[in-house]
């Protein structure tokens, strides 16, 4: 009997429930992603260079591996976020600007910033001393710009489904 009752629900109620669950996923992914990359970019990266017995070349080599892995995980977050956003229905029309900002940042990091930073890291690993470059500071700014994008998406989704 209970099974029959659930299958006779109006389609719109089922769609509304799916949209709500997708919204919950959007909020979860946004805030977990924010915490994930913030901890790596703004805590792990600078703190490791305070270790007195860690050489610059080893620190850069470890950082290179950590950031490559982090970036891969962030692409997974990005795709999961997109799939969840698309399931929220009309809400995506409001949130596309935050998602579009993330897309531009992720593409810039993948095809410009990380390759350039990787070349610099290889030089440091080989023993060359390099100053901080403009590319490094642009990367830091790109990471900082992810914060308002993810906060916007998470907060707007939370507000939309809190009624």
pLDDT of residue 12: 74
pLDDT of res. 8: 45
Please check whether residue 139 lies inside any domain of the structure.
yes
With respect to residue 48, please indicate whether it lies within any of the assigned structural domains: yes
Number of domains in the chain: 1
The whole-angstrom separation of Cα 155 and Cα 160 is: 9
The pLDDT value given to residue 69: 97
Alpha-carbon span 133 to 77, nearest angstrom: 28
Q: Domain residues for 61?
A: 15-161
In the prediction, which pLDDT does 75 show? 98
- For 78, the 3-state DSSP assignment is helix
Cα 84 to Cα 27: distance, rounded to the nearest angstrom:
10
pLDDT at 92: 84
User: Which candidate, 144, 27, 29, places its Cα nearest to that of 77?
Assistant: 29
Q: Answer yes or no: is 10 within a domain.
A: no
Residue stretches of the chain with pLDDT short of 70: 1-11, 163
CA–CA separation, 15 and 32 (whole Å): 25
Residue 3 belongs to a domain: no
pLDDT of residue 161: 85
Name the pTM for this structure. 0.87
- 138 falls within a domain: yes
Is 4 inside any structural domain? no
105 within 8 A of 138, measured Cβ to Cβ: no
Structural domain contains residue 50? yes
Q: How far, in Å, CA of 154 to CA of 28, rounded?
A: 8
Q: Is residue 52 part of a domain?
A: yes
């Amino acid at each position: 009997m209970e099974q029959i009752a659930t299958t006779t629900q109006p389609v719109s109620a089922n769609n509304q429930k799916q949209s709500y669950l997708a919204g919950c996923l959007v909020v979860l992914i946004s805030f977990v992603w924010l915490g994930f990359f913030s901890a790596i970019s703004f805590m792990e990266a600078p703190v490791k260079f305070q270790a007195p017995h860690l050489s610059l070349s080893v620190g850069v080599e470890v950082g290179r591996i950590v950031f490559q892995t982090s970036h891969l995980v962030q692409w997974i977050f990005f795709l999961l976020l997109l799939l969840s956003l698309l399931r929220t229905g009309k809400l995506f029309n409001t949130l596309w600007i935050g998602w579009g900002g993330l897309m531009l940042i992720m593409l810039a990091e993948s095809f410009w910033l990380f390759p350039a930073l990787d070349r610099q890291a290889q030089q440091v690993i080989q023993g060359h001393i390099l100053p901080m470059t403009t590319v490094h500071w642009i990367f830091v700014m790109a990471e900082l710009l992810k914060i308002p994008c993810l906060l916007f998406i998470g907060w707007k989704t939370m507000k939309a489904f809190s009624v």
